[in-house]
Amino acid sequence: MTAPVPRRPLGTVLTRPAVVLLAGLWVAGPLLPLAVQAFTDQWFYPDLLPARWSLSGWRQALGPQSGLAEAVATSIGIGVAVAACATVLGTAAGRALAWHRLPGRRLMELVLLTPVLVPPFAVAMGAQIVYLRAGLADSVTGVVLAQLPAAAAYTTLLMSGVWAGVDPALERQGRTLGAGPWRAFREISLPRLHGGLVVAAMFAFLVSWSDYLMTLLIGGGVVTTVPLLLFATAAGSGNQAATAAIALVAVVPPLLLTALAARQLAGGDTALLGVGR
């Protein structure tokens, strides 16, 4: 005996694809004109398509004067350093948060959220004074250190969620079998953290990759990353095609990283993203 499948009204059936389509347009929409803009030097309102196609924007963006190659190298270098440091810090802090009944754990979690909660301008202004006094301003090291708190806050929250899914009793068991504390971590817990580590490192890299304010204020114009170059080109040259080309370059690493980490993001660890638990 089979129950008849109730027919759903057409409106209900169409709602979901419509929402998905609109959301997609909302997110990806701004990128579309960018992709067109990069390949033209004449595109006037209200034309739907440019009057003329051209690669001059790309020629300028990739040419020796633009400094894009150097900016990409600087951005990658800073991003990798921030990702490495933030992931290590986040792994250690996340373990403490997840495994130990620390007094004031909730408070600490709130403190970790401050980079997200406090207006970045306020933080950056304060940081600039401190870094100037410490002699760390105008240097790549200074920029890495300045970007680290925000990135480490993300990795800590993420990793505390991942650690909460690892049984501390397993490491304890390893200790009784002759493994020292570090060895027990490496041999027993670390294999279970893999997915989380990949996602945490990716997040930290992306936080660094898109940072503008800290890099501008601490780097003092000496350290030029892709966002800085992009802003300078947009504000300084007025060359919309070159700006669009640089913007497209800036979008590539996040997309690439997301694609590379897709397996981790889609895996069982996804539930642990965000604040976890």
Partner 1 sequence: MTSGVSIETLDHTYPGATAPTLRQVTLDVPAGTRTAVLGPSGSGKSTLLSIVAGLTAPTGGDVRLAGRSVLRLPPHRRDLGVVFQRPLLFPHLTVAENIAFGMRMRGTDRVVVRHRVAELLDAVALPGFTDRRSTELSGGQQQRVALARALAARPAVLLLDEPFSALDPQLRGDMRTLLTDLHRREGTTTLFVTHDRDEATDVADHVAVLVDGDLAQHAPPAQLFRRPASLAVARFLGGAANAIAGTAHPGRFDCALGSLRLDTPHRGPGLLLVRPRAIVVADQDGPNVVPATVTAVTDRGTHLDVQAASADVILHLTTGPATPLRPGDEVSLWLPPTQLSVVGR
Binding site for partner 1 (CB under 8 A): 167, 169-170, 172-181, 183-184, 187-188, 191-192
Cβ atoms within 10 Å of 269's Cβ, excluding its own: 22
Instruction: For partner 1, give the closer residue by CB, 174 or 276.
Output: 174
The values of phi and psi at residue 17, to 5°, are -60, -35
Rounded least distance, CB 264 to partner 1, Å:
16
Instruction: For partner 1, give the closer residue by CB, 196 or 219.
Output: 196
Rounded least distance, CB 176 to partner 1, Å:
4
Rounded least distance, CB 199 to partner 1, Å:
19
Rounded least distance, CB 175 to partner 1, Å:
4
Instruction: For partner 1, give the closer residue by CB, 149 or 165.
Output: 165
Instruction: For partner 1, give the closer residue by CB, 222 or 271.
Output: 271
Rounded least distance, CB 173 to partner 1, Å:
4
Does 227 sit behind a cis peptide bond, omega within 30 degrees of 0 on the bond before it? no
Rounded least distance, CB 169 to partner 1, Å:
6
Q: What is the C-alpha to C-alpha distance for residues 128 and 208, in angstroms, rounded to an integer?
A: 17
Cross-strand bridge partners of residue 53 = 40
CA–CA distances in Å: residue 67 to residues 58, 188, 230, 233: 13, 46, 11, 11
Candidates 122, 153, 116, 145; CA nearest to 218 is: 145
Q: What is the C-alpha to C-alpha distance for residues 34 and 241, in angstroms, rounded to an integer?
A: 9
- DSSP annotation of 1 reads -
CA–CA distances in Å: residue 211 to residues 3, 199, 226, 232, 250: 57, 18, 9, 14, 12
Rounded least distance, CB 102 to partner 1, Å:
14
Instruction: For partner 1, give the closer residue by CB, 42 or 173.
Output: 173
Beta-sheet strands, E only, within the chain: 40-42, 52-53
Instruction: For partner 1, give the closer residue by CB, 174 or 253.
Output: 174
Instruction: For partner 1, give the closer residue by CB, 24 or 180.
Output: 180
- For the chain, helix, strand, coil in percent to 5 are 75, 0, 25
- Residue reference for tokens 């401190």: 130
The values of phi and psi at residue 89, to 5°, are -60, -45
